[in-house]
Structure 1
Amino acid sequence: MIAEAVRRVDALRRYVELKVLAGALVVVGCVWAFFGLAGEMLEGETHAFDSFVLLSLRNSGDLADPVGPLWVEEMARDFTALGGIAIVTFVTLAVCGLLWLMKKGRTMLFVAAAVIGGAIVSSSFKALFDRPRPDLVPHGVEVFSASFPSGHSMLSAVTYLTLATVFASTQAERPVKIYVMALAAFVAIAVGMSRVYLGVHWPTDVAAGWTAGAAWAIGCWTVARYLQHRGGIEPAPREVG
């Protein structure tokens, strides 16, 4: 009986360590992709592609008019708001409140620190690269900061993916985990696409925001798994389904 328990614990330890290693490898890949995009952008290699995509999303006779009916443009503004600081802050506080009610205070603090840290990294990258906003087409919404990487894209990926991965780790049912992760990925993708459609970001800004945000979120998930295994935060329930 004791030998069987030891065997199961050892198998669980190897499983967790394998997940942590896989997460670390994905983070490295995302970081490599981000700095690859940054290098190409700084050398001007992405300008032709960026310009082609932006112009292809506008009516050739009126660059102030995005392609598609007016309701599509309005929907893009709705989606882009999901990556704004006000909505992101509200969603983070809402999830932290839920974790508190679930008596997962250490997980709540980890989530808050992860999202705040991601926001600081996003702002730091913007200040570092200081890329001008697109000037090929009129902007569909007001903007106030530098262009690379897209803050809305990175912040939405950081926030929604981090919240989803950490929250999913508190759930036992696999369908719930998949649903939460898919929903978070959809929101992050929709926010990024809306920024290009509204003409306030080059496509490579958005791609860089996605890769940096995904690297941060997966890195946070990797740390969370490690802390759960070590007892630093509340342990994950045994997965079912």
Structure 2
Amino acid sequence: MNPPLSSAVAGALCILLSLLIGFSLGATPIVLADLWLIEQAAALRADAGPWIAFTRIGDAPARIGFAAVAVVLLLVRRKAGAAALLPLATLIETVATSGLKLAFARPRPALLDHLDTVVTLSFPSGHAAHNMALWALAALLLLPRRGWAAAALVVPLLVGVSRVVLGVHWPSDVLAGWLFGGGMALIAVAVHDRLGTNPRATA
């Protein structure tokens, strides 16, 4: 299987898994896992400062700033196609995630006091999806070897965990967000590689 096709298949599987979680939210294993994980997260709330900081890193202003830096770096490297793809793909992911929130209409958890202000629905986590899509795609486009891109996932992982610790998301929201955002990033980079404008090693 060639690299673009394998990336596209992996991305599609991630998106499918995220949707399967959404359609299974009432299943006993997911309910029990959510409750247990929220109970574990409650123990991390003694010092909420770092978790609030992680969430701020995942907020829209920080994401826009990081995306702008990534676009500039891509342009400096004369990767105009990649520079155009990054904001377009992340915009598509943002719109799609908002649509999923409306479709599933899951309320926010009320088991812990909310330590961040929220106004939208819960599933999937926008912070998890948006940051996974942005950081994963930027890393795949900027780094010469895809294996190195895994290091960039630390940021979206911490952002996602922070949403549970702050009491504003179910863990299943965050997992689905990671999968959906990661899937969108993989599909976007597969399209880019298919166009032949971003040759690089795939190890």
Structure with the greater relative contact order (CA < 8 A, sep ≥ 6): 1 or 2?
Answer: 2
Deviation at 1:195, TM superposition (A): 0.8
3-state DSSP class of the match of 2:195?
helix
Residue matched to 1:236: 199
Deviations 1:147-188 (A, max 9, x none): 0000000001111011111222xx3xx4xx544x12321111
Structure 2 alignment gaps of length 5 or more: none
In the alignment, is the contact (CA less than 8 A) between 1:50 and 1:203 conserved in 2?
yes
Partner Cα separation in structure 2 for residue 114 and residue 166 of structure 1: 12
Identity over the aligned pairs, expressed in percent? 26
Deviations 1:96-131 (A, max 9, x none): 122222222222111121111111111111121111
- Structure 1 runs (4+) deviating above 4 angstroms are none
Of residues 4, 7, 10, the one that matches 1:26 is 10
Aligned length: 202
Residue matched to 1:62: none
Structure 1 alignment gaps of length 5 or more: 1-16, 59-65
Deviation at 1:68, TM superposition (A): 5.9
AA paired with 2:122?
S
Deviation at 1:217, TM superposition (A): 0.7
The TM-score normalised by the length of structure 2 is 0.90
Which 10-residue stretch deviates more, 102-111 or 86-95? 102-111
The TM-score normalised by the length of structure 1 is 0.77
Given the alignment of the two structures, is residue 135 of structure 1 paired with residue 119 of structure 2, yes or no? Answer: no
In the alignment, is the contact (CA less than 8 A) between 1:55 and 1:137 conserved in 2?
no
AA paired with 1:50?
D
3-state DSSP class of the match of 1:49?
helix
Residue matched to 2:80: 105
Q: What does 1:1-241 align with in structure 2 at a 5 Å threshold?
A: 18-41=2-25, 43-45=26-28, 46-58=30-42, 66-67=43-44, 69-70=46-47, 73-168=48-143, 171=144, 174=145, 177-179=146-148, 181-228=149-196, 233=197, 235-236=198-199, 239=201
Which 10-residue stretch deviates more, 46-55 or 151-160? 46-55
Q: CA, structure 1 residues 240+86, in 2 after alignment: closer, same or farther (shift >3 Å)?
A: closer
Q: How much is the aligned-residue C-alpha RMSD, in angstroms?
A: 2.0
